[in-house]
Chains A and B, each alone.
Chain A
Amino acid sequence: MKTMNRRKFLKGSLLGGAAASVIGKSKNAAASATFGGYPEAMGVLVDLTRCVGCRSCEAACNKEQGLPNPAQPFDDLSVLDHERRTSEGAYTVVNRYEIPGQDHPLFRKIQCNHCNEPACLTSCFVKAYTKTPEGAVIYDPTVCVGCRTCMVACPFYVPAYSYSSVLNPVIKKCIFCYDTRLKFGRPPACVEACPREVLTFGRRQDLIKIGHQRIRNYPDLYEDHIYGENEVGGTSWMYLSSAPFDQVGFDTGLGTEPILSYVKEFLTVVPMVLTIWPALFAGFHLLATRKDAQKKEEKSEK
């Protein structure tokens, strides 16, 4: 619905000219910011209080996605000594965080959070990315040109790049096991492997209720916040924590606006600039230089 509005608006603005578009633009921007994600989208609620950092999820991901052999076994917990990021060889990694005043560390699994309104998707100029109604943010590596704009756009620094590939480097990231599992209504491999149900799979709408229920039942245990419920417009993967979120590596300054909103107004103008401006300014130029051209012609006739 919303995209239709925007498309109509774009058509109108191209026909009606630049002046009219400036007025209509802000109205449309406000209207399309209300998309709250697909109603039936699935998600995962990650409960940091349950995680013991066993790395089973990492092993499961490696197997399911056919990723290259790891440099160290997945039961080697010494890798937790350094903070890691997702990479072309690991679409999910667990990191350990020592919490001041608590005798136990917390462990946090990271992977693509599968935003409701993904910045990577917005930034991709070849439309490699798709947000599926099931909630996954997937991508088509065959059209990826390897520009890496999505890596810059992602607020969670998730997409990785296959630097090891000389001829055809592309983006690599978690796809919620869409091809092999989610599409068929099955949970991703990491969820199935987790021994302590740190990862709860279900409809995103239900998970939000479950998350708030847990906070209500154990107010002393949990921070009163579900990270991802509203961050950057909401994400399919959400987190519960017993420590303040900034102490477990979360960026708490992202706000609740989809990244899309920050660039939408600018991006709306781009096609206009590209189509109208060349003609408009070429016209100005021709008009301004018409007399000179006429004089030249007259001169040459003499």
Chain B
Amino acid sequence: MEQIPRNLLSTILAMLLCFTSYSTIALAGEGPDEVVIDSLAQLYEPVIFDHAMHEEVTESNCAVCHHHTLGTKIEDENCLRCHAESGGTDEISCQGCHAGNRFEAEYLNRIDADNTLFHRDKVGLKAAFHIRCMNCHEEMGVANGCQDCHVRTDAGDKFFHAGHYAPPKSDKPTSGGH
């Protein structure tokens, strides 16, 4: 029963996010309260990310998670080597830079054809989420298991041969090997 309104809410939020463009300088606390991360959801339910809570935790320093915030200049010395004159950044969303189709031929060929491109080893969207979130969660000593953030779907259970699809328990040692 509870499921339906929640899904509705997430859909609305996701749609809102898709059509929201940030054009002004983002100040601390101006970020969204909640972000539904569902662009890659198949095996797991979408993540409902409590953005407001994370702003509190990071004391509204956007760069803790995002590399920079909107309209401000980049501070990382490594980045400044090329981006000293780049001016304020106009992209803040993860998927604005991290590709969802990281290993598809189209993306790989585009990188390959562009000799001027420095960011050849930029992780895709899924890895950007997982590396950023999990590394921090581990440092902070908070919940870090797969299903602590996103509950597995039925397709996911099937994929992992878990839940309803778990193999019958047996004491026999697993066969195979050489």
Q: Are B167 and A71 in contact (CB under 8 A)?
A: yes
Q: Are A214 and B178 in contact (CB under 8 A)?
A: no
Q: Are A210 and B120 in contact (CB under 8 A)?
A: yes
B97 located at the interface, meaning its Cβ lies under 8 Å from any Cβ of chain A in the complex: no
Contacting residue for A202 out of B108, B146, B170, CB 8 A: B108
Bound CA–CA A72/B146 (angstroms): 18
A42 to chain B, nearest CB (A): 9
A161 located at the interface, meaning its Cβ lies under 8 Å from any Cβ of chain B in the complex: yes
Number of interface residues of A (CB under 8 A): 45
B138 to chain A, nearest CB (A): 9
Q: Are A196 and B162 in contact (CB under 8 A)?
A: no
A195 located at the interface, meaning its Cβ lies under 8 Å from any Cβ of chain B in the complex: yes
Contacting residue for A72 out of B104, B159, B167, CB 8 A: B167
Contacting residue for B160 out of A52, A75, A88, CB 8 A: A75
Q: Are B174 and A197 in contact (CB under 8 A)?
A: no
Q: Which residue of A lies closest to B120 (CB)?
A: A210
A176 located at the interface, meaning its Cβ lies under 8 Å from any Cβ of chain B in the complex: no
Bound CA–CA A210/B112 (angstroms): 13
Interface stretch (choices A185-193, A254-262, A270-278): A185-193
Contact with B along A233-277 (1 / 0, CB 8 A): 000000000000000000000000000000000000000000000
Bound CA–CA A63/B165 (angstroms): 13
Q: Are B102 and A197 in contact (CB under 8 A)?
A: yes
Q: Are A74 and B112 in contact (CB under 8 A)?
A: no
Which residues of chain B (4-47) have a CB below 8 Å from chain A?
none
Q: Are B162 and A74 in contact (CB under 8 A)?
A: yes
Q: Are A87 and B177 in contact (CB under 8 A)?
A: yes
Bound CA–CA A69/B130 (angstroms): 28
Q: Are A213 and B127 in contact (CB under 8 A)?
A: no
Q: Are A63 and B146 in contact (CB under 8 A)?
A: no
Q: Are B120 and A206 in contact (CB under 8 A)?
A: yes
B105 located at the interface, meaning its Cβ lies under 8 Å from any Cβ of chain A in the complex: yes
Greatest chain A CB density within 10 A among B134, B146, B161, B175 is at: B161
User: 25 A-B residue contacts at CB 8 Å?
Assistant: A59-B159, A62-B161, A70-B161, A70-B167, A71-B167, A71-B174, A71-B175, A73-B165, A74-B160, A75-B146, A85-B177, A87-B178, A90-B176, A160-B178, A187-B103, A191-B103, A195-B126, A195-B130, A196-B127, A196-B130, A201-B108, A206-B112, A209-B120, A213-B120, A213-B121
